Structure formats: structure tokens, C-alpha cells
Amino acid sequence: MSKDRSTILRFAVAGFGVTVVFIAFQMLMVEHSPWFTLNNILSAIFMIFCPPALLTFPLLDVEIGTGAFYVVWILVALVNGALYAVIGAGYVGLRKKREDAATS
């Protein structure tokens, strides 16, 4: 695998991983009350790092731990991984353009 493809794959895995970490956090925080401040702060930070999660707002009635919950968040993780791959491809493109300008 080329260095560029490897970089893009790393970006995609990072995007997928961000979503997986948040899902694990949600499942661990089920026992705490909904007004728990740290949960709100981390949720806001997560929305910055995982914009596809905004698509889940119409599905707020999906309970954590059900089959629908896992389907929704697997789709969000895949979309976030694809978004990060696009960002990674842009990064590789800009890096190549900068290297080409420096050699000429």
C-alpha cells in the first residue's frame, strides 16, 4: 500500500474510532442522570468531531442497547469514517501540491 493510501486509511480509521469511543461512552453513562454535566460537555465535543451524529436527532427515541441503536450508530460511524477519509485525501492532495511546488 502506498504512503498516500495509508494516510487516507488512517484518517478513515480515526473517524470510525471517534464514533466508537462515543458509543462506548454513551453505554457507560446510561446509569447516570441525564443532567450530568460532563456528559453534556463531552457530547458537544463529540458533535464537533463527528458531524454525522447530527443526523441522529430525529431518532432520539432509540434506546441505548437496542438493535436499532446499533444500526444507527454503525451507519454514523461509517459515514464519519468516509468523511475523515475525504479530509485525509484533501490533506494528501495538499501535501503533494506543496511538495511539487518545492521541487520545481
Q: Which residues contact 14 (CB under 8 A, 6 or more apart)?
A: 84
pLDDT per position as a tens digit, 32-67 = 655 555 567 887 888 899 999 888 777 767 777 788
Contact in structure between 88 and 11 (CB atoms under 8 Å):
yes
Confidence of residue 102 (pLDDT cuts 50, 70, 90): confident
Confidence of residue 90 (pLDDT cuts 50, 70, 90): very high
Cα 8 from Cα 87, distance rounded (Å)? 8
Please measure the distance between the N-terminal and C-terminal CA atoms of the chain and give it in whole angstroms.
Answer: 27
Residue extents of the structural domains in the chain: 3-103
Cα 56 from Cα 26, distance rounded (Å)? 14
The model's pTM is: 0.81
